[in-house]
A and B are shown apart, each in its own frame.
Chain A
Amino acid sequence: MIQLLVRRIVLLIPVLLGILLVTFAIVHAIPGDPCVVMLGERATPEACAGFRQRLGLNDPIPVQFLRYVGNIAQGNLGTSIKDGRPVVDVLAERLPMTMELTFGAIIFAATFGVLFGVVSAIRQNSMVDVATMILANIGVSMPVFWLGLMLAYVFALTLKGTPFWIPPSGRMTSGISLTPLAEAWHFQSLPGLPTFLLSLVSNSVILHSLLIGDLPVLKDAVWHLILPSVAVGTIPLAIIARMTRSSLLEILGQDYIRTARAKGLVERLVLVRHAMRNALIPIVTIVGLEVGGLLSGAVLTETVFALPGMGTAIVTAILGRDYPIVQAFTLVVALIYVSVNLIVDLSYAYLDPRIRPQ
C-alpha cells in the first residue's frame, strides 16, 4: 500500500506542476495589458507602474513563476484587486459553503444512486428497472441550474404552507446567528495556519453549529442545504445508478455467484457478501470521478440558490476581472479534484487486492 501511495504521489508531481502552470497562465494570458484589463478605468500610467511593481510583472516570466510557486508554498494566494483582502481570507470564507454543498450532494447521490441501481439490477427488466433507467437517462440530461430553479419553484412556492415547504435560497433563515467559535471556546487571536483552519470551521455553518451544540441553527442550515444538494446530486445519482446496475448485473452472472446460490446461501447474503463487494469497485470509482462534476455543479447551483460559496465568488470575480481570485480558486478546486482522484485510486487498491502491486 505504501509503495503504491508513493508511486501515485510521484506520478502526481508533473500534473501538479502543470496545474500551477495553467493557473499561473490565467493572469499572463489575458490579451492586452493586464493592468488596463484589471484596473479598468483606474489604469493611469502611474497606477499601472505601481500595479506592475506590486505584482512583480516587470520581472522575467520564469522568475515570476518561481515566485508564484513560492508564494503558494507559503500559503500566500495574493490579494483581491477589488477590495484588497488577502485571497486566503476570501477562500476561508467561501470554501466551506462549497464543501458542505458537495458533501450534501454526494451523500444524496451515492445513497439513492446505489439503492436504485441495486433494485434495478435485482429486478431486471421489471417496471421499477425500466422506470429507474428512463429517469436516470433524463436525470443525466438535465442542466443542474434548471433543476435547481424547478426545485425552488416546486418546494418553495407550490408547497408553501405545507410541511414539505423548503426554503429556496440563502444559507440560514435571516435573523439567526451563530456564536463565533473563538468566543464560544474563549480563543485569543491565533497566528497563521490555525486562524485559517479556525475560520474554515467557523464558516461551515453545519460544522460550527455542531461543535458548539447549537441544534436549532444546525437544523436550519441542513434545511437550507436540501434543495441545492438534490439539484447538484441528481446527475451523479443517475450516473451512479446506471453504473451500479450494470456492474452488479455483470457480477450476478458470474460462476462464483451461482456457486454461492447453489450451496444454499440466502439471496440477501449472496448479494451483500459476494456480489456487492466486487460491484463496489466500479461504483467507488464513479463516485470519485463524479466529484469533479459535483464541484462544477456546485458552482452553478450556488448562483441559483444565492449561496455564498466559491462558485458565486468565481463568477463575480470573472465579471469584475478580479484575476487573483479566479486564479486561486481554480487552483484550489483542481487540487481538491486531484486529491479526490488519488483517494479513489488508493481505495480501489484497498477494495481489490488484485490491483495492489506485487
Chain B
Amino acid sequence: MAVATEILSAEPVASRRSPFAQTLRRLLRHRSAQVGLVLLAFLASIAILAPLIAPYDPLVPLRDVQRRTPPCIHLLGCPASAPQHLMGIDGNGRDLFSRVIFGSRLSLQIGFSTITFAIIIGTFLGAIAGFLGGWIDNVIMRSMDVLLAFPSLLLAVAIVSVLGPGLINALIAISVVSIPIYARLVRASVLSVKELDYVVASRALGASPSRLLLTRVLPNSLTPLIVQGTLGIATAILDAAALSFLGLGAEPPTPEWGLMLGEERNSVFNAPHLVVFPGIAIMITVLSFNLLGDGFRDALDPRLAQKGYEAKV
C-alpha cells in the first residue's frame, strides 16, 4: 500500500526526470500495472477497514440461521424482513461475507511476510555466495539447486509434514521454498557488479567489504528483486491457500480462504456459494500481484526504457 500511495503522489517532473521518476511514469502508464494497483488498493482498503465493512464476527456462529443458506441480498429481491447475507451462511452458521472480508487481511499478511522472509534470507545467502566466491559459493548454490530440484509446493508439503500442520509452519515452508530464486538473483547481480570500476574504486578507497556490499553492490540487485518479489507474493498466497486447502495450513476457525474452500469442498453441489466466493477472492488477490509484477518488470526493464515505452496488455 505504501508503494501505491507513494506512486500516486509522485509529481511528474517536466524536464530531465530522474531514473526513479521515469520508472514511475512507465509503471503508471502500464495497463497491467494500473489494473493491478487499483485492485491492490481496493484489497488493502478492505483489509484495513475489515472490522467496519464486515457486518458480523467472522469467528462466531450466528443464532437462528440455517447452515449453508444461499446468499440473501436485499437489492436482488431477497425480502427485507430477512437479514442480509451477501455471500450466504457457511457450514458452521457464520456469515461468509464477513469471513471473506477478514480473509483479505490474512492473505495479504501471508504474502508479504513469507516473501519478506525469503528475500532477506535469499539476499543474504546470494550476496555472500557472489561476493566471497570459492567453496562458500559452491556450498550455498548447490544447496539452492537441491531445493529447486523439488516442485516447490511439494517441498512445502514435505516440510510441513516434518514441522506439523499449522499456519505458521506452512508459512515457514513456503518461505523456505521461495529462498533459492532470490539467492540466485542476488548472486547473479553481485557477480555482474563486483568487478565494475566504481566498486573497485570504492574498494581502493578502503571501503570495508560489508560497506561495499550494502552501499555499492546490493542496490543494483533491487530491480530484479522487486519484480520477482511481487510475483513471488502471488505464488506464496496461492501456495498458502493450497496448503490450507489440504488441511496442512491454517486451522479452523481461522478465516483463511484456502481453508474455507477445503472445509466446504464437499458442498460444492448443494451450496456452491461457499466455494465460489473464497475462490474468487484468492483469484483477485493473486491477479493483482501478478499484474503489478508484470508492470514492474516492463517498467524496470532498461531495454524497454531505451526503445521508448509502449503500453502493452
- Check A140 for interface membership: any CB of B closer than 8 A: yes
Partner of A333, one of B151, B246, B283: B151
Task: Please tell me if the beta carbons of A318 and B142 are within 8 angstroms of each other in the complex.
Answer: no
- Check B127 for interface membership: any CB of A closer than 8 A: no
Task: Please tell me if the beta carbons of A303 and B246 are within 8 angstroms of each other in the complex.
Answer: yes
Query: Across the two chains, which residue of chain B brings its CB closest to A132?
Result: B313
Selected interface stretch from B4-12, B16-24, B54-62, B286-294: B286-294
Q: Which of A2-33 contact B (CB under 8 A)?
A: 14-15, 18-19, 21-23, 25-26, 29-31
Q: Which of B190-216 contact A (CB under 8 A)?
A: none
Task: Please tell me if the beta carbons of A145 and B261 are within 8 angstroms of each other in the complex.
Answer: yes
Query: Across the two chains, which residue of chain A brings its CB closest to B270?
Result: A157
Return A82 CB to nearest CB of chain B, in Å.
14
Report the bound CA distance from A51 to B150 in whole Å: 30
The residues of B that contact A304 with a CB separation of less than 8 Å are: 265
Task: Please tell me if the beta carbons of B161 and A323 are within 8 angstroms of each other in the complex.
Answer: yes
Return A156 CB to nearest CB of chain B, in Å.
8
Query: Across the two chains, which residue of chain B brings its CB closest to A27?
Result: B162
Interface string of B237-248 (1 = CB under 8 A from A): 010011001111
Query: Across the two chains, which residue of chain A brings its CB closest to B279?
Result: A146
| Given A141-B290, A145-B261, A299-B157, CB of A318 within 8 Å of CB of B165 | yes
Task: Please tell me if the beta carbons of A143 and B152 are within 8 angstroms of each other in the complex.
Answer: no
Report the bound CA distance from A153 to B286 in whole Å: 23
Return B148 CB to nearest CB of chain A, in Å.
9
- Check A137 for interface membership: any CB of B closer than 8 A: yes
Report the bound CA distance from A152 to B32 in whole Å: 31
Task: Please tell me if the beta carbons of B258 and A143 are within 8 angstroms of each other in the complex.
Answer: yes
| Given A137-B32, A149-B268, CB of A19 within 8 Å of CB of B149 | yes
Selected interface stretch from A110-118, A177-185, A260-268, A289-297: A289-297
- Check A269 for interface membership: any CB of B closer than 8 A: no
Report the bound CA distance from A128 to B177 in whole Å: 37
| Given A22-B146, A150-B275, CB of A143 within 8 Å of CB of B248 | no
The residues of A that contact B252 with a CB separation of less than 8 Å are: none
Report the bound CA distance from A134 to B245 in whole Å: 26
Interface string of B73-99 (1 = CB under 8 A from A): 000000000000000000000000000
Q: Which of B221-261 contact A (CB under 8 A)?
A: 234, 238, 241-242, 245-248, 258, 261
| Given A22-B146, A296-B153, A337-B150, CB of A137 within 8 Å of CB of B291 | yes
Interface string of B286-313 (1 = CB under 8 A from A): 1100110010000000000000000001
Query: Across the two chains, which residue of chain A brings its CB closest to B262?
Result: A145
| Given A295-B151, A300-B242, A318-B248, CB of A15 within 8 Å of CB of B313 | no
The residues of B that contact A21 with a CB separation of less than 8 Å are: 146
Task: Please tell me if the beta carbons of A30 and B162 are within 8 angstroms of each other in the complex.
Answer: yes
Partner of A292, one of B32, B151, B291: B151
Task: Please tell me if the beta carbons of A299 and B261 are within 8 angstroms of each other in the complex.
Answer: no
The residues of B that contact A143 with a CB separation of less than 8 Å are: 238, 241-242, 245, 258, 261, 279, 282-283, 286
Report the bound CA distance from A139 to B16 in whole Å: 40
- Check A73 for interface membership: any CB of B closer than 8 A: no
Task: Please tell me if the beta carbons of B247 and A296 are within 8 angstroms of each other in the complex.
Answer: no
Task: Please tell me if the beta carbons of B152 and A326 are within 8 angstroms of each other in the complex.
Answer: no
Report the bound CA distance from A26 to B156 in whole Å: 12
Task: Please tell me if the beta carbons of B283 and A26 are within 8 angstroms of each other in the complex.
Answer: no
Task: Please tell me if the beta carbons of B313 and A330 are within 8 angstroms of each other in the complex.
Answer: no
Query: Across the two chains, which residue of chain A brings its CB closest to B286?
Result: A141
Among A14, A152, A292, the most chain B Cβ lie within 10 Å of the Cβ of A292
Task: Please tell me if the beta carbons of A146 and B269 are within 8 angstroms of each other in the complex.
Answer: no
The residues of A that contact B161 with a CB separation of less than 8 Å are: 26, 317-318, 323, 326
Task: Please tell me if the beta carbons of B247 and A145 are within 8 angstroms of each other in the complex.
Answer: no
Partner of B151, one of A18, A144, A150, A293: A293
Interface string of A126-141 (1 = CB under 8 A from B): 0001100110011011
| Given A299-B153, A299-B157, A323-B161, CB of A15 within 8 Å of CB of B142 | yes
Task: Please tell me if the beta carbons of B151 and A153 are within 8 angstroms of each other in the complex.
Answer: no
Report the bound CA distance from A323 to B32 in whole Å: 44
The residues of B that contact A243 with a CB separation of less than 8 Å are: none
The residues of A that contact B238 with a CB separation of less than 8 Å are: 141, 143
Task: Please tell me if the beta carbons of B149 and A337 are within 8 angstroms of each other in the complex.
Answer: yes
- Check A166 for interface membership: any CB of B closer than 8 A: no
- Check B132 for interface membership: any CB of A closer than 8 A: no
- Check B154 for interface membership: any CB of A closer than 8 A: yes
- Check A338 for interface membership: any CB of B closer than 8 A: yes
Query: Across the two chains, which residue of chain B brings its CB closest to A157?
Result: B269
- Check B49 for interface membership: any CB of A closer than 8 A: no
Report the bound CA distance from A318 to B142 in whole Å: 28
- Check A122 for interface membership: any CB of B closer than 8 A: no
- Check A315 for interface membership: any CB of B closer than 8 A: yes
- Check B158 for interface membership: any CB of A closer than 8 A: yes
Report the bound CA distance from A171 to B153 in whole Å: 24
- Check A106 for interface membership: any CB of B closer than 8 A: no
The residues of B that contact A140 with a CB separation of less than 8 Å are: 286, 290
- Check A101 for interface membership: any CB of B closer than 8 A: no
Return B307 CB to nearest CB of chain A, in Å.
12
Q: List 30 A-B contacts (CB under 8 A).
A: A14-B146, A15-B145, A15-B149, A18-B146, A19-B150, A22-B158, A26-B162, A134-B313, A140-B290, A141-B234, A141-B283, A143-B242, A143-B245, A143-B261, A143-B279, A143-B283, A144-B242, A146-B261, A146-B283, A150-B276, A152-B268, A152-B269, A300-B245, A314-B154, A319-B247, A323-B161, A326-B158, A326-B161, A333-B151, A334-B151
Residues on A close to B: CB < 8 A?
14-15, 18-19, 21-23, 25-26, 29-31, 129-130, 133-134, 137-138, 140-146, 149-150, 152-153, 156-157, 292-293, 295-296, 299-300, 303-304, 314-315, 317-319, 323, 326, 330, 333-334, 337-338
For the complex with contacts A149-B279, A300-B153, A334-B151, 16 further pairs of A-B residues with Cβ separation under 8 Å are: A18-B145, A30-B162, A143-B238, A145-B245, A145-B265, A146-B279, A149-B275, A153-B268, A153-B272, A295-B154, A296-B154, A299-B153, A317-B161, A330-B150, A337-B150, A337-B151
